[in-house]
Amino acid sequence: AQSVTQLDSHVSVSEGTPVLLRCNYSSSYSPSLFWYVQHPNKGLQLLLKYTSAATLVKGINGFEAEFKKSETSFHLTKPSAHMSDAAEYFCVVSAADTGRRALTFGSGTRLQVQP
Amino acid sequence: GAGVSQSPSNKVTEKGKDVELRCDPISGHTALYWYRQSLGQGLEFLIYFQGNSAPDKSGLPSDRFSAERTGGSVSTLTIQRTQQEDSAVYLCASSSWTSGSTDTQYFGPGTRLTVL
């Protein structure tokens, strides 16, 4: 079985300050991990993915995430927030190597960016 | 290139009616997925197609829900005798997964279903 816990339902930052969105996962197998972003009334857009190559993964729009197996974490960071980053962010786990293809989503973190 | 498209973007229906939701995957993607996003339940997997067959239907909430895929392309999700709890955004995703690779799923904009 696999699961994802996003530790904060809401995060508020000021424009230009760092962003940290926290995610812990549980998986019986070597997981693939993703971060998706959803802007209001839009579909889900892939930010980045971890696939057991490099533990530090760089994504689009300046986001990156670090896979830490010892902490079972996959936190999303960005050095400097922009107003356009305001959206809902989902941490997602896949256990495709088990044969199960469904993604398991966290409950989401809503990021607010204050001017 | 074109992404995943879904239609309609919004659907309002009366309780007890049947609805059909359509998904056009990215051209060449062999895998297609349906998910549901609702306030109370978050994002949930419904069903997955590889080609025209559905190896995993484990997320379909009841026998009122069914889906098919034809020609390895377009998929239709059908909800019969809709109930108010079916109100949600239905998301479709597709991927070009091949064995041994990581499956990256690309999502459409969704269909917002409201059951009155």
Report yes or no on B114 lying in a domain. no
Report yes or no on A34 lying in a domain. yes
Identify the contact set of chain B against chain A, taking CB-CB distances under 8 A: 4, 31, 33, 35, 42-45, 48, 50, 55-56, 58-59, 91, 93, 97, 102-110
pLDDT digits (tens, 9 = 90+) for B34-90: 999 998 788 999 999 999 999 899 999 999 999 999 988 999 999 999 999 999 999
Judge contact between A23 and A36, C-beta under 8 A. no
Q: Burial level of A63, CB count in 10 A (0-12/13-18/19+)?
A: buried
On the question of pLDDT at B1 being above 70, the answer is no
Q: Averaged over B17-28, what is the pLDDT?
A: 96
Residues of chain A with C-beta less than 8 angstroms from the C-beta of B44: 105
Q: How far is A31 from chain B (nearest CA, A)?
A: 10
As for how many domains chain A has, the answer is 1
pLDDT digits (tens, 9 = 90+) for A5-46: 999 999 999 999 999 999 999 877 778 899 999 998 788 999
Q: Averaged over B12-39, what is the pLDDT?
A: 95
Q: How far apart are CA A52 and CA A47, in angstroms?
A: 17
Q: Is A22 on the interface with B (CB under 8 A)?
A: no
Peptide bond into A40 cis (omega under 30): no
Report yes or no on A107 lying in a domain. no
Give which of A21, A54, A7, A31 is closest to A100, Cα–Cα. A31
Report yes or no on B105 lying in a domain. no
Give which of B82, B91, B89, B92 is closest to B115, Cα–Cα. B82
Place of tokens 């909800």: B79
Q: Averaged over A56-78, what is the pLDDT?
A: 95
Report yes or no on B111 lying in a domain. no
For position B15, which CATH number holds? 2.60.40.10
Average per-residue pLDDT in chain B? Answer: 92
Judge contact between A5 and A104, C-beta under 8 A. no
Given an 8 Å threshold on Cβ–Cβ distance, is A107 in contact with B4?
no
> Quick one: pLDDT at residue B37?
94
For position A76, which CATH number holds? 2.60.40.10
Report yes or no on B50 lying in a domain. yes
Report yes or no on A108 lying in a domain. no
Q: How far apart are CA B24 and CA B75, in angstroms?
A: 7
> B13 is in which domain, residue-wise?
5-98
> Quick one: pLDDT at residue A13?
97
Confidence band, pLDDT 50/70/90 cuts, at residue B2: confident
Report yes or no on A52 lying in a domain. yes
Report yes or no on B40 lying in a domain. yes
